[in-house]
Structure 1
Amino acid sequence: MAGRHVVVSNITRTDPKIVARLAEAGVSTIHEAMGRRGYAGTELRPNQADVRIAGTAVTVSSHPGDNLMIHAAVETCQPGDILVVTTTSPSTDGMFGELLATSLAARGVIGLVTGAGVRDAAELREMGFHVWSRAISAQGTVKASPGSVNVPVPLGGVLVSPGDVVVADDDGVVVVPREEAEQTAVRAAERTAKEAATRDVLRSGELGVDYYRLRTLLKDLGVQYVDQA
């Protein structure tokens, strides 16, 4: 498909049961469970608070300042998808707003993640359509330039392929490759259980420096405890 503009209609999606398990874990836990991989970076900010979503990626590669391919992507979406929109060069233009969100919501899409900008921020929150974006911008766009739908796209240094799992919450966005999703869900659950046990220990008053056995490390690194009168 190199050198061509395409709309891929049918993609292989991650099992919804695995997606739901990853949603329970959240972004930070999944990132750690993957060996500190998959995080899409600090530029992607939530348009709402206290919301976590997880879904399968439908990807869009667009020309900057042009939302033609977002419209083309809508008919490829299914319930439980998250639309992932990127541009071929950096852009903060408001490529997405309340009308496109209405169209996507009618097909069961649960949110948008974009490396560009969105508009109608208040309206999106009011209608409950959840967005993570690089910017909020009133700058308008056109519908004129070709791009592609459901091809691998770069998002904040992470490669997103159609059908991958996208998890987004107040901590940002993490992408789990479809072929790693089940194993990551297992590791994330294990990490969640371990953190719960650690939380109980710390709540009891035990110091982290003792629980994690860090005193020897501090000594080896030359850190000294000094009493001052």
Structure 2
Amino acid sequence: MSIAMVRGQELSDTFWALDDLTFSVEQGESIGLMGLNGSGKSTLLKLINGVMRPDRGTVLTRGRIAGLIATGAGFHPQLTGRENIFLNAAILGMSEKETRAKFDDIVEFADIGKFLETPVGTYSSGMFSRLGFAVAIHTDSDIFLMDEVLAVGDRPFKRKCLARMDEIRKSGRTMFYVSHAPGSVRKMCDRVLVLEKGRLAFDGPTEDGIKYLKYDDGDVTSEEHLEGEEEDLGADV
């Protein structure tokens, strides 16, 4: 007999990470996904990406999907960075010919130096993010997903990420961006979805979504601090 049974506690329970969630997105929209930790944002990205399937309901997407929804996703720890570029690119739908054509650009963007020939199992979370983002950002896609990868990495790399994401937004690709930073969401997104305990609590203009969450200028995250630095430097992000 288990301790839970002795205490009279329930032995099982059902938890819905997302519940009764319905929305549609037009091609070329930049969507900010916001909400408290545990509200279902990352789960929603995984459903859109196809790595998870809903228990009920449907998720309909059109075109190639790329992005970074988890640090190190799609990497094999025993393979080198070089080998994982080809592996991860193949998972994202790129042919070997495409990957070879973009290989030098991917390596240059990741900027991991001699560690390119080292098994990625030895990488730090920042190096994982560098390589994963570099592959994803060079994948020709119709939908781009990003889950707070900018919270990992040094300032120069964050600047590169922000600049590339802005290019994606301006290129007409559909983008989903998870962030707690109002400043970057204002800059990157024209619509915000706010999740609360797995339900859609708000769907509308970016500024209204930020006000709904009661974020204000006194609650500044490290991302927004970085953006302030970029503006002081005159960065065009």
TM-score (norm 1): 0.28
Q: Which has the higher strand share?
A: 1
TM-score (norm 2): 0.27
Q: Which has the higher helix share?
A: 2
Question: Which structure is larger by alpha-carbon Rg, 1 or 2?
Answer: 1
